[in-house]
């Protein structure tokens, strides 16, 4: 099974970051996906305090007016009315996704985006019932997830940073407990990444460096789990799945560098792909068979 994600950014005070009428384009993407047995997916997110005014960004909001770099304009703390508006924006995004016919949604709660900011004590220093304790910090992200679950009938999950990679930050234990809560709220899967909340993070980067997080959560919670992070080679991805460390692997930058990564994986692992006949001439001898019955030089 393969999935194709498309971003669905939320509304903002200065206009939508993505046009709501993208809904007319979606059926074409949906049709293209289904031709090859892929599910079509969307990833709603809110940028929080990541967009710098110095780079032409807007006035931003966050759980707390915390600036992460010296000289940076602090965001505005979200008030009660703002929380209601943001939750409603997530719901509208989910409703648009459903109207498009998308089959799967992944809420982005990692990498310093707004829902991650609420989870992390580094970014969330509120003094009300949305800050401080684990129960308080998870309240709004869980509330948003439940609201989306109510209006979206398809597969629904969330992407989380399992660690802030900084002392006193969000950690694997809290991620595991929050994933239990998401499962009880109707989550169908969890996508496990890490980092992104602070420039002070110290990340131990290496091939598959986030896979242990996914493995821990998969076996602790029993929810289908996606692993991601420097998974670059087909055999490496296959090994993660065979070792039961995750149920799926996600690739982003690998496809930017190798747009035909899927074809290379099929050649390396003995699989097959569907390709329009114009591509058959490109078939190298070492990849013979990945286009099924097509022969080298055929069209």
Strand order through the sheet with 155-161: 3-9, 39-45, 104-109, 155-161, 189-193, 225-228, 248-250
Report residue 179 as tokens: 């994933």
Give the list of residues 6+ apart from residue 110 with CB closer than 8 angstroms, or none.
116, 159, 160, 161, 191, 193, 194, 196
Contacts (Cβ under 8 Å, ≥6 apart) of 174: 119, 134
Residue pointed to by tokens 């058959």: 280
Cα pseudo-dihedral 267, 273, 276, 282, rounded to 10: 0
Active site residue 113: yes
Catalytic member of 113, 209, 257, 279:
113
Q: CA-CA distances (angstroms) from residue 240 to 135, 210, 228, 237, 266?
A: 33, 11, 10, 5, 16
Cα–Cα distance measured from residue 62 to residue 41, given in angstroms and rounded to the nearest whole number: 26
What span, in angstroms and rounded, lies between the C-alpha atoms of 216 and 229? 15
Strands 61-62 and 76-77: what pairing? parallel
Q: Which residues are catalytic?
A: 113
């Amino acid at each position: 099974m393969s999935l194709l994600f498309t971003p669905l950014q939320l509304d903002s005070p200065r206009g939508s970051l993505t046009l709501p009428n993208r809904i007319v384009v979606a059926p074409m993407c949906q049709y293209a996906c289904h031709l090859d047995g892929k599910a079509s997916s969307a990833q709603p997110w809110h940028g929080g305090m990541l967009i710098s005014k110095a780079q032409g960004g807007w006035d931003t909001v966050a759980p707390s007016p915390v600036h992460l770099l010296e000289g940076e304009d602090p965001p505005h703390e979200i008030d009660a009315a703002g929380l209601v508006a943001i939750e409603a924006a997530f719901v509208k995004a989910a409703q648009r996704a459903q109207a498009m016919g998308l089959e799967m949604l992944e809420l982005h709660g990692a990498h310093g985006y707004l829902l991650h900011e609420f989870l992390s004590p580094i970014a969330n220093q509120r003094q009300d019932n949305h800050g401080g304790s684990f129960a308080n910090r998870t309240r709004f992200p869980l509330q948003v997830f439940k609201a989306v679950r109510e209006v979206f009938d398809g597969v629904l999950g969330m992407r989380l940073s399992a660690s802030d990679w900084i002392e006193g930050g969000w950690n694997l234990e809290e991620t595991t407990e929050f994933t239990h809560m998401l499962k009880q709220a109707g989550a169908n899967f969890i996508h496990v990444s890490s980092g992104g909340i602070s420039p002070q993070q110290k990340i131990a980067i290496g091939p598959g460096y986030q896979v242990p997080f996914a493995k821990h959560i998969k076996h602790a919670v029993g929810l289908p789990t996606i692993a991601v992070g420097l998974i670059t080679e087909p055999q490496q991805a296959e090994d993660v799945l065979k070792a039961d460390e995750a149920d799926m692997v996600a690739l982003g930058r690998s496809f930017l560098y190798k747009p035909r990564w899927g074809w290379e994986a099929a050649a390396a692992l003995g699989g097959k792909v569907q390709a329009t006949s114009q591509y058959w001439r490109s078939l190298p001898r070492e990849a013979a068979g990945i286009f099924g019955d097509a022969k080298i030089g055929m069209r």
